[in-house]
Every structure is written in structure tokens, then in C-alpha cells.
Amino acid sequence: MDAIKMIKERRSVRKFKDEKVDRDVIKEIVSLAMYSPTWANSQTARYTVVDDKELLKRLANESMKGFQFNINTASNAAGAVVVSAVKGLSGYSPDGKIVTKKDDEWEMFDAGVASQTFCLAAHEKGIGTVIMGIFDEDKVADMINLPDNEVVEAIIPYGYPEGTQNMPKRKDIGEVIRFI
């Protein structure tokens, strides 16, 4: 699939078929997401794959802050990838000093790029995804035994899409661009 077509056709998927996604396919998707650009090539993104159905249901029911839409999506997915970032690298100089006004928030930027790359690679493989942001980071970290030097940035439920997703209307180019 060419890049322009992939960008235009990839959609957030919230309904999935009851079909397991092979771990080798997920490994291949993560290996592609690893090509995401990062601050000073720090490669801070980490991917914890939750494909155990019981843990997935716990993750959905106990960490989504009661947000039913996310609970339903996550509990019906084939799995979910918890995207985390190694702390203290993105936005820092080699001697450990913060060198951007964004402080350590650059971790989120790098994790966002990695998450989008993951989703595009998954789309190429026929796997649907949605990036979630409403969840209790501490509960998720505890549930997946996240190392202390990492922080949870996003949860990406995945699976084979059920049905088709329509493209939401896009804003006019004049609303989003400025030339100086």
C-alpha cells in the first residue's frame, strides 16, 4: 500500500472480530514502529502486548476510569498494546539536562509518533487500531508490571476490524494552514 493511500484510509477502529491476532504479526508491526523518529535517536518507546483475554478484560474494566466507550472497545479487542516511554531521555541532553521548554513532555511526542507508526503498520497488515488516552496510568503500569524507569503514554486496542469505518469530515485546508 502506498503511504498516501495508507494515511487517507487508516481509521480508528473500535469494533473487532472475535479472532486472535498472531503474535508474529504483532512482532512485525512493532518492528516497523521501531523506525519512528525520536529525540536524538533515543528510541524510548516500549510496547507491552496484552493478548491474555482475562488481563485484557481487567485492563478494560479497572483502568478506563469508568469511560464505558473505552471499556467496551478494549474488552472486545483481540489485544492491546500499552505504549510506554523510558523516562529521562526525550528532551534531555546527553549529560541529563532538560534542553527544551517542554521539559519531559517530549516523551509524549515521541510516543505519539511511535503510536501512529504502529497504527499505520497495523493497517497495512489488515489490523484495526485505536489510540486511547483516557485511562489510569498508575493502574495500567501496576497491571502490566511496567518497569519503574518507564511511563505509560497510550493504550492501543487492536484486532481484525468488524465492518467498515467511515471517514469523518475533514476541515478545509484554509482552516489549518498559515503561510508567513
Condensed to tens digits (0 to 9), the pLDDT of residues 62-95 reads 999 999 999 999 999 999 999 999 998 787 778 8
- Owning domain of residue 33: 18-162
Residue 180 covered by a domain: no
Where residue 106 sits, what CATH number does that domain have? 3.40.109.10
56 has pLDDT over 70: yes
Residue 170 covered by a domain: no
Residue 172 covered by a domain: no
Domain count, the chain: 1
33 has pLDDT over 70: yes
1 has pLDDT over 70: no
171 has pLDDT over 80: yes
**Cβ neighbours of 55 (radius 10 Å):** 14
Residue 169 covered by a domain: no
Residue 11 covered by a domain: no
Residue 99 covered by a domain: yes
Joined together, the cell numbers standing for residue 163 give 465492518
Which residues, 6 or more positions from 156, have their beta carbon under 8 angstroms from its beta carbon? 80, 81, 82, 83, 115, 118, 119, 129, 130, 131, 132
Residue 112 covered by a domain: yes
| pLDDT tens, position by position, 112-164 | 999 999 999 999 999 999 999 999 999 999 999 999 999 999 999 999 999 88
Residue 117 covered by a domain: yes
178 has pLDDT over 70: yes
